[in-house]
Each structure stands twice: as C-alpha cells, then as structure tokens.
Chain A
C-alpha cells in the first residue's frame, strides 16, 4: 500500500479527481484521522463483486454526498460502514481505528446512526416507541434528545401515540431520522431520504438535515436526487457499478458536465467518455 494522499489536496486544487487514495494501516489515530474512512473496500454478494475497492472519507462536521445510479453500490457502501455487511477485503475506520468485523449492534456504540433505505420504521410500534428504540443502546432514552427530535419534527410530537405504519411517507422519513438521532450519533448515514416523497416534503427534510449538521452531526448522504444532495453537501463522490469514478467539492461536481448529463438529466454538449 502506498502512503495516504491528503484528500484536501484534491479539494484545494479544485479539480475533480478520479484517483484512488489508499493508506497504510499504520497511520491510524491522531486528530488528523477522518471520522469515517473506507479503504480499498471490496464487498461481495456471493460471486458478485458489489464494491470493487472503493475509498471514501468523511471528516468531522462535513456533509458528504454519495451519488450514483441504481445498483451502483451506494447502499452497500453504507451497509458496510454500519457493520451490516462485512467486507471481504479492505477496512472501515472510525477515527482511524479499524471497525470492520464489528457487528452492527455493537458499532452503534461508536456513534454511527443509520437511516436505512425505505425508512423502515417499526410499523406496529407507536411513534414514541420507535424513538425509544433508537435509544436502545442506552439504559433509558435521554429526554433532551426526545425534545430535540420533537423540536426538529413537530409533526412527530403531534403524532407520538400514533402507530408508525399509519404515518405518511414523509412522516415516516422524519421518524426514521428522529429515531437515528435518539442514539446520539456522531455520524449519520442516510440512505435515500428523499425517495418517493413530494418535492415540498423533500425540501423540508433537506432543510432539517442542514440544521442537524449545523448542530454538529456529520452526514454521509446517499441520494439519487443529485442536485439537492450536492447543494447540501461539502463534498461528493460518484459511484458507478462498484467503482468510485469521481470525487470532489460539491460545487464542482454540481458544475461538472458529466454529472449534469448523467444525474441531473441535462443535455450538455460534453466530452462524454
């Protein structure tokens, strides 16, 4: 393995980079280490290689967007980061420490919150019970967290007794995010929070995500809605069939003709490779 490339050069140089940055196992720890780092991650479903050696890092306080078409491996990336899937090769590092191989129910204690694709609230539990489940790792839920969630999502406060399965899609998404916040995550992984929601609701959710980030939670956001995701994000990555094909500051990705053509549905006269 080569020495670690400083990701900031990528950002500083202001170019869209396709290079892969790998790192030695020894340069762990220290304040320099990103909050989350995926190194040369290879993930298989049986014989199919879903992730072909991807690298990704998220620094404390950032919002990072992970873009890509259906089946590119975005959800797999998040699931590997939260311990639901074990990589065959490569590492998942939190603050420079290897955590791959740790089961998801234990990884929660390291401050990872995962809002899964399709929201997946506990349909037969009430809103309040769902939120309490989010704080399962604690002896009891912190009332301040509950207050925070109800402040962010007043709708949930109104419906706290309602069975979650009867909520609207947008409310379920709010509940899924609120539930993850109850676990006091340092890093929130969000898998397609805008999926199947009306534009107005999507706007609301993204506003709240922004607020959550400003309150100090780092976000890694998987989205099909590339323009919205890049407007919120500091940096972005683009995944194509298991390989990271682009990374860079969000503003530049947003301006990149290839991105505009592929993910924003624009017809641009571009050097389409």
Chain B
C-alpha cells in the first residue's frame, strides 16, 4: 500500500464513517431512553433516501444548474429525507412501541416488534416505490473541490462529511445543552425519578425518535447521493451503524460518533487491502475485538446506579 493509497482510502473511510456516525445516533438515542434495539431504524434511513429522491424527481433538476440551484436541490433533498425519516420514526414509536410500553411488555417483545416493523416498512417501500433501484437525479456536477496529499476531494464527499459533522454537532448540542437533552439524559438514567422531576416521559421518548429520525432520514438521502436508493438499502448500513453504536458504547452519543467513524475507516481499509468480499469482515471483526476487551464499548461506562 502506497502513501497515495493511504490518504485516498482514508477519505473514503471518513465519508462512510460520517454516514455511519449519523445513523448510529438514532440507535444510541433510542437505546438510551428505552433500552430498545430499534432495528426498524434502518428503514427510517431507507425512507429518508426515497424521500430525497422523490422530492428531487418531482422538481426535475435542470440540466446544468447554477451554484444556487445545486445548493437548493441538496437542501431540498436533505430536508425532505430528514422530515420523512422523522415522520416514520414518530409513527413507529406511536404505533409499534408505545402500546407495548403501556402494557409493560417484556424486552423480547419490543425486539420482535422492532424486527417486524423493519420487515413491514421495507416491504411496504418495495411495494410503493418498486423493487428496482431509483437513481438519484443529478443535482450538481460532481467535480473535484480540492486536492490534499495528492488525494482529490469531490463535492459529494465534501457534502457528506460536511453535513454529517454539522448534524453531529447539532445533536451533541441538543443532548448536552438543551432542556430536551437533559430530559433525554434523565429518562435514560432513571425514568421514574425523571418523571418525579416533571419530565413527561412519553413526550421525551417521542422527541427522541424524531431527533434520531431526522438524522437517519438525512443520512439516507446523503447515502443516496453516492449510490441509488432501493428498498433494502437500509439493511447493511443499518446493521453496521448499530454495530458502531455498540462499539462506541450504546447509549453514549459521542461514542456512537466515534464508533461510526472507526467502523467506516476500518471498512475502507479492509476493502482496499483484502478486497470487497471482506468488506464487513473487517468492521465486525473490529467490533468483536473491541468488545472482548471493553464489553461496554469504547466510551461505554457504567457508573453504578446507587441502590
């Protein structure tokens, strides 16, 4: 592997890692407040992808857009993806999970429901949008923006990393600096006591899903800019992002970011060194290795809950 390769591959990894990090936020936030592995989050991601593509198909981008037009298309795609993702996440919580919480259902029931919701949603998408991949309408000419260490960075890569990092900063701010954030953290640590402080748990849970859905949906659209969108597109990125959340320490927002970035980079290097067939072996091998030595994940800490 030459040095040239190194930077090239690193860029690919960071791009992939930003996407994983943004998706992983959704898993980790929901796990925090409900101790629920929300496997249907991959479908929130998928819906976001379709939302962006369909919105763009409807506005029919012009053949050679100006800078302002291109920016408009991108913003439209991200916002539609995010909003659709948030909508699906909102109803998912309301329809699938809330009735279970009302009845104090065991954890296993939640898990099965999550898997069922995931199957339902991607098959519904296949039915509605067709089982063939939908191409992303061209929003801009994907040219090189700048070159660093002989590695070219193009618009799509810059877009994904830029908006990914922006979203991570926003979510970090929301969780650590806002009232909703303190509600989320309080519910994650002790829901009963949180409600004694006046926290409306239902409201916090619902908004947590919306927050994760906004991120996941936007990530779906961003993923679509490098690829196409299709009804099963959520599966592998979803599983990987979930692994990233576990790697970073599930429930920990910064851990999810770190885990996502790590897995993206590991995946890119595995593909470069061993070939595409090994793609997920590297990432999941890294997960197993980390969990062997740190079962709670990289940033996962368990400050004992006293008595």
The residue on A at minimum CB distance from B192 is: A84
Q: List 17 A-B contacts (CB under 8 A).
A: A103-B195, A103-B200, A104-B196, A105-B195, A105-B197, A105-B199, A108-B197, A116-B193, A119-B307, A121-B306, A123-B306, A133-B182, A133-B197, A136-B198, A136-B199, A179-B197, A195-B307
> Which residues does chain A contribute within 8 Å of B179, judged by CB atoms?
136
Q: Which of B200, B201, B301, B305 has the most CB of A within 10 A?
A: B305
Known: A105-B201, A108-B196, A137-B198. A122 touches B306 (CB 8 A): no
CA distance A154 to B199 in the complex (A): 27
Interface assignment of A183: CB less than 8 Å from any CB of chain B: yes
Interface assignment of A95: CB less than 8 Å from any CB of chain B: no
Q: Contact at A84–B306, with CB atoms within 8 Å?
A: no
Interface assignment of A196: CB less than 8 Å from any CB of chain B: yes
Q: Contact at A183–B198, with CB atoms within 8 Å?
A: yes
Within 8 A of B (CB), among A113-135: 114, 116-125, 129, 132-134
Interface assignment of A90: CB less than 8 Å from any CB of chain B: no
For B, the interface residue count at a CB cutoff of 8 angstroms equals: 23
Q: Contact at B186–A122, with CB atoms within 8 Å?
A: yes
CA distance A117 to B192 in the complex (A): 12
> Which residues does chain B contribute within 8 Å of A114, judged by CB atoms?
196
Name B190's contact: one of A108, A122, A134, A166 (CB within 8 Å): A122
- If A116-B193, A133-B194 are given as contacts, then 4 extra A-B residue pairs at C-beta distance below 8 Å, sorted by A number, are A108-B198, A124-B189, A132-B182, A179-B197
Q: Contact at B304–A136, with CB atoms within 8 Å?
A: no
For A, the interface residue count at a CB cutoff of 8 angstroms equals: 34
CA distance A129 to B182 in the complex (A): 8
CB distance from A196 to the nearest CB of B (A): 7
Name B306's contact: one of A106, A119, A163 (CB within 8 Å): A119
CA distance A106 to B203 in the complex (A): 13
> Which residues does chain A contribute within 8 Å of B307, judged by CB atoms?
117-120, 195-196
Q: Contact at B183–A122, with CB atoms within 8 Å?
A: no
Q: Contact at B303–A123, with CB atoms within 8 Å?
A: yes
Interface assignment of A109: CB less than 8 Å from any CB of chain B: yes
**A56-87 interface mask toward B, CB cutoff 8 Å, 1 = contact, 0 = none?**
00000000000000000000000000101000
The 10 closest A-B pairs by CB, nearest first: A137-B198, A118-B307, A165-B303, A108-B198, A105-B195, A123-B303, A136-B197, A136-B198, A104-B195, A120-B193
Interface assignment of A224: CB less than 8 Å from any CB of chain B: no
Known: A84-B192, A136-B183. A120 touches B306 (CB 8 A): yes
> Which residues does chain B contribute within 8 Å of A55, judged by CB atoms?
none
Q: Contact at A169–B306, with CB atoms within 8 Å?
A: yes
**A86-103 interface mask toward B, CB cutoff 8 Å, 1 = contact, 0 = none?**
000000000000000001
Name A118's contact: one of B182, B196, B201, B306 (CB within 8 Å): B306
Known: A122-B189, A122-B193, A125-B185. A109 touches B306 (CB 8 A): no
CB distance from A45 to the nearest CB of B (A): 12
CB distance from A127 to the nearest CB of B (A): 14
